[in-house]
Structure 1
Amino acid sequence: MADSTPLAPNAEALDFLLTRRSRPPRMMGRRAPDPDTLRILLTAAVRVPDHGKLEPWRFLLLDAPACQRLAALTRTRGAALGIEAKRIEKDASGFADAPLIAAVISSPKSESLVPEREQYASAAAVCLSLLNASLAAGWGAVWLTGWRATDRPFLTQGLGLFPHESVAGYVHIADEARVPPDRPRPDVDALTTWIKT
């Protein structure tokens, strides 16, 4: 028989969600979580909606040397694509300065009846869960995407992804060097419509 005990309010968790703030890479330090801590964060990250229990995602953990290699590829591939030099350098430095990035790979299961869109949404949920778990554990973290999440040569050369895969997000995780100010938040009332009949 299923437990029918109602959920108890968790004011601390709700307060965290109402005040959470990503940390830009430039405000993060050079110390990353150790493997045991990282495993806890990843375990929290995969507790997401997953229609059909497909697990249409996986992780690639990029240590500092791997991030340096990807910074170099960002420069060469970005130049080949004709991306503005200032943008390329910003993207490259985000990799070069990172002690750890968890790449959440969207890996949809084509044999499933679950639409690929739903499978990608599950991978995106993993990104947000990993971001929030990292912040809740006291780490600085940010979820980034951009052209390096979808450019096929970058994904193949840099990450060795299969043709059907892409990066749902690069989640940078490190100690916090500086605390960013909060930013303006959306007006929930302006974005909400009730349908009552």
Structure 2
Amino acid sequence: MTKRFPPTPPRDAPLPGARPSADARALLALRKSANKLLLGLPGPAPDEMDELLTVAMRVPDHRKLAPWRFVVFEGETRVQVGEKLAGILAARGAPAAQVEEAAKSMVRAPVVVMIVSSPVEDGRTPVWEQELSAGAVCYNLLLAANASGWAGVWLTEWMAFDKDAAALLGIGAAERIAGFVHIGTARGPTPERVRPELRDRVTRWVAG
């Protein structure tokens, strides 16, 4: 495999506080999630996926708790999990269209990664901070995938908030699903969407 990222530096290695990069600036300025219906083959191979996940973990993490974990769905497992999710809705008498959509939910992309927020109760670090770290992992995974040439989208959908789906997916009592990141190859462009005006979202504190 051709490594797409530098190796993880050894502990306590001095790292620069800034890394100016025109390519990174362009990536961030033009970042756009892919349409979930326009993801196809190929996707990352298992060793490539491991590299992406290693990079995704380089996020702010107060007290180094690593309060998140990954579950990777590849190959036939995506079909099996989708069918079981569909079974949950079918048992509730959900409309056929919803059941069918659930069955397809895990096969939209070659690889689906479930990011699970797993807070550590250390008595010092707020759970909210730890959940924000899990969200940063989701976003960092998207950026790593995009920088490697794959398209991706971060979704939650009903199964991220459903207790029966949580039981099926092995989610612990103190855990929450931060999202499902679907990764593959874009089969077409995704139009830019409306972005907020900066002036509507920023104020500057004035000393009084």
Fold conserved (TM > 0.5)?
A: yes
The residue that corresponds to 1:7 in the other structure is 18
Change over 3 Å in CA distance of 1:30–1:195 after alignment to 2: same
**Map of 2:186 onto structure 1:** 176
User: What SS class does the counterpart of residue 95 from structure 1 fall into?
Assistant: coil
Secondary structure of residue in 2 paired with 1:49: coil
Shift in CA distance, 68/190, structure 1 to aligned 2, threshold 3 Å = same
Structure with the higher fraction of residues in helix conformation? 1
1:68 Cα deviation after fit: 0.9
For structure 2, list consecutive stretches of 5 or more residues without a partner in the other structure: 1-12
**Corresponding residue to 1:110 among 121, 128, 132:** 121
Moved more, 135-144 or 105-114: 105-114
Q: Deviations 1:159-190 (Å, cap 9, x if unpaired)?
A: 22222222111011111211111111111111
| Native 8 Å contact 2:83 2:102 kept in 1 | no
- Please report the RMSD computed on the Cα atoms of aligned residues, expressed in angstroms: 2.2
Q: Deviations over 1:70-94 (max 9, x none)?
A: 2112222234456554444334323
4+ runs deviating over 4 angstroms: 2-6, 80-85
Task: Please give the alpha-carbon distance, in whole angstroms, between the structure 1 residues aligned to 2:148 and 2:16.
Answer: 28
Q: Classify 1:49/1:89 alpha carbon distance in 2 versus 1 (closer, same or farther; 3 Å).
A: same
What are the superposed Cα offsets for residues 119-141 of structure 1, whole Å, 9 maximum, x if unpaired? 11100100000011101111010
Question: What is the number of residues matched between the two proteins?
Answer: 195
What residue number does 2:10 align with? none
Shift in Å, 1:6: 6.2
Q: Does the CA contact (< 8 Å) of 1:27 and 1:177 recur in 2? A: yes
Q: Find the counterpart in structure 2 of residue 93 from structure 1.
A: 104
- In the TM superposition, 1:4-153 aligns within 5 A as 7-80=18-91, 85-153=96-164
The unaligned stretches of length 5 or more in structure 1 are none
How far apart are 1:150 and its partner, in Å?
Answer: 2.3
Match of 1:162 among 161, 172, 180: 172
Deviation at 1:52, TM superposition (A): 1.1
State the distance in 2 between where 1:41 and 1:4 align.
Answer: 20
Asked if the contact 1:64/1:98 (under 8 Å) is kept, the reply is: no
One-letter amino acid of the counterpart of residue 171, structure 1? V
Which amino acid in the other structure matches residue 53 of structure 2?
L
CA pair 62-194 structure 1, distance change in 2 beyond 3 A:
same
CA 1:178/1:114 → structure 2, altered by over 3 Å: closer, same or farther? same
Q: 1:115 to 1:80 in 2, by over 3 A?
A: farther
Q: Provide the rounded CA distance (Å) in 2 between the counterparts of 1:31 and 1:5.
A: 35
User: What is the aligned-residue identity percentage?
Assistant: 36
* 2-structure distance, mates of 1:131, 1:17: 11
